[in-house]
Structure 1
């Protein structure tokens, strides 16, 4: 609805100040024609998921996730693990490398980025509820986290854009040489990536809520497992096989509705 009728909805005066320090030209800070253009660019990047998403890489991240699931039904923080899984997969596909949130040997730089992202999201949510009172709260930590996170993403966005440009130049047989357009593309790439990362809680919340619901109904778990094995077997799925997992889709939809009801 927002992609086609954005002008019919009022844009909160609070939204831009909240997101401007971290995504100055992202979909959360723009309005009108600029928002529509940014939304279109982001949609184009995600228009063909089969080209964007490597199922083999997804399997690697899922196996890393399983390393954090304790045996014998022991209690663990599923929200933290699903959040790490979402962050790892999204940064891998958008930045060309994962932040390694599920890695036991995560680098200090990547660990700092994950922490900064948490600080940023928490502050945006809190200030959204505070309204005008947000001006009374100190922002030094928030701005510092925004600066570090932006720098981290920009470095990888620059590398990714230059890699793509190099591939195009080899295809064309010459150098484009338009550094201004390349700089603009890098900034745009960073804004779009940060917008996705700031919104990844919806993915992790859905997954953690679903796992919680499944943990309370062993019958559904067994039925779900049987349906997957019958359709795919015990090997990682292909794109064609994913389309046959009807019961999985129904469980996901039911899980989302349960979260809304509660």
Structure 2
């Protein structure tokens, strides 16, 4: 008989010979187990060593943990997570943040926050915010999700940059924001007139829908020298397409910052929207760089010779930066801030103006010397009560009510630990710090028992908050460099609308709804009636 083995039998014998005998397999498994135990032991020793180091640093600096929230009875913080989601849907998330500190204990301004197995440190303490944003600035960095979201959608830019990259962006943008022409009220007037033309006389209008068009047109005109055309009747279709794409990108960015795993979900529409916005930007960037290369600037101080009478932000940047990708990222970052924050501020201001004839009356009296004429930037600054009103809106409703940093290295917060809250808090590398400026601005020990009331007159009083007790635009090296532009734009628009319309009344009921995505805004819009 044929004694040859079948192919399957041969392969089985070959595979068994590769594994070795049962004894050899047992010996091999034994050493794998020993190796695994050694790795576990070394890891444990490493953790013990670092824990001892952390404990030593804690004790030597007198650090104590802050109060913890929620309580241990809320396993994994599931109930609290449900409350946060519910508050966001019902548009009262900032109010819930206020309650969190109150529930943690009397006079508690910093807490250890636990939800879904993650720990972070929350504060409404000015001293801790100052330590993170200024004193120990180099100890902290932006959350990775924010950096990744800006990089994916805008290609970078100052608001998603950190470290040396951020320093380069800051140095590039700062001179342009310091330029006196950045607050060009004549340029703003053209777009405000387009806004006024869209407001029906004595009929219901939602200004929360129109203000983003206004701020987008102003932002693109300032940045590129040409408008997106959101309110321009000759460019309405183009402007609507641009705005639609921009809104979709911002919605997805907000989702990715809050839920980083969302970045792994394919989104063809997002890619199309990003392409539309970047193509628009790249056209003007290429043109600015080409003009700059063909006509070298000999006298940088002669702005009129360089640009004519119109200031263009991109032209200014192109004199100092020739990388088109970097220019695009910086321009789009500025556009994000220039549109959403100012539009939200205007909507909140006008929601309250429609319900506060006392405030409207005082502002109108202040406008009397203008005799209906368009105010200059200098005249806007002289309108003190209007300035107080803007300050008060930003106090009670800071457009960016919550922000965060991640510890770059082991560091400390100056206070908030222990039963009395006076001890420093030890922060490990990688732990998250969250500061709620809205909760800081509503502290009754800083702003009085009427802290929850919108009262511009408080800014006329002698007792005013310190620098770090009022931070609507952040603070330290990363303070918003466009804050003066935002305030000028909001104030100018408000003055011109009050000059144009004598009749003002609300067209919606109920309290103000604090909706929050990338910025705080009115959850119910800004429905009102304006009449001449």
Same fold (TM over 0.5): yes
Q: 1:183 Cα shift?
A: 8.1
TM-score by structure 2 length?
Answer: 0.44
Q: Which has more strand, going by share of residues?
A: 2
1:169–1:258 Cα change, 3 Å: closer
CA contact (8 A) 2:229 2:238 kept: no
Q: 1:104 Cα shift?
A: 2.8
Distance 1:241 1:165 in 2: 39
Structure 1 residues 40-96: Cα deviation after superposition (integer angstroms, max 9, x where no partner): 211121112x22332211111111111222222x32221121111111111101111
Q: 1:170 Cα shift?
A: 6.7
Correspondent of 1:8 among 139, 144, 150: 139
CA RMSD of the aligned region, Å?
A: 2.5
Correspondent of 2:380 among 238, 242, 247: 242
Q: Which has the larger radius of gyration?
A: 2
Unaligned residue ranges in structure 1 (runs of 5+): 173-180
CA contact (8 A) 1:153 1:190 kept: yes
158-167 vs 7-16, which moves further: 158-167
Distance 1:128 1:5 in 2: 24
Structure 1 residues 163-212: Cα deviation after superposition (integer angstroms, max 9, x where no partner): 4555544759xxxxxxxx99834333221110012223111111100000
Distance 1:135 1:144 in 2: 15
Distance 1:5 1:131 in 2: 27
CA contact (8 A) 1:18 1:128 kept: yes
Unaligned residue ranges in structure 2 (runs of 5+): 1-129, 301-318, 398-437, 439-451, 453-513, 515-532
Q: For residues 127-146 of structure 1, what are the structure 2 equivalents within 5 Å?
A: 127-132=256-261, 134-135=262-263, 137-146=265-274
* Structure 1 equivalent of residue 391 of structure 2: 253
Correspondent of 2:252 among 77, 99, 123: 123
Stretches (4+) displaced over 6 A = none
User: What secondary structure is seen at the aligned counterpart in 2 of 1:15?
Assistant: helix
Whether 1:60 and 2:206 are equivalent positions in the alignment is no
CA contact (8 A) 1:94 1:193 kept: yes
Distance 1:5 1:87 in 2: 36
CA contact (8 A) 2:172 2:320 kept: no
Q: For residues 132-211 of structure 1, what are the structure 2 equivalents within 5 Å?
A: 132=261, 134-135=262-263, 137-169=265-297, 184-199=322-337, 200-211=339-350
* Structure 2 equivalent of residue 177 of structure 1: none
Distance 1:164 1:239 in 2: 30
CA contact (8 A) 2:150 2:156 kept: no
Q: Which has more helix, going by share of residues?
A: 1
Distance 1:257 1:182 in 2: 36
Distance 2:332 2:299 in 1: 30
TM-score by structure 1 length?
Answer: 0.85
Number of aligned positions between the proteins: 250
User: What secondary structure is seen at the aligned counterpart in 1 of 2:343?
Assistant: helix
CA contact (8 A) 2:211 2:347 kept: yes
Distance 1:239 1:182 in 2: 27
Distance 2:155 2:138 in 1: 20
User: What secondary structure is seen at the aligned counterpart in 1 of 2:152?
Assistant: coil
93-102 vs 185-194, which moves further: 185-194
Structure 1 residues 2-42: Cα deviation after superposition (integer angstroms, max 9, x where no partner): 58964232321111221112322311332211111112211
* Structure 2 equivalent of residue 30 of structure 1: 161
User: What secondary structure is seen at the aligned counterpart in 2 of 1:101?
Assistant: coil
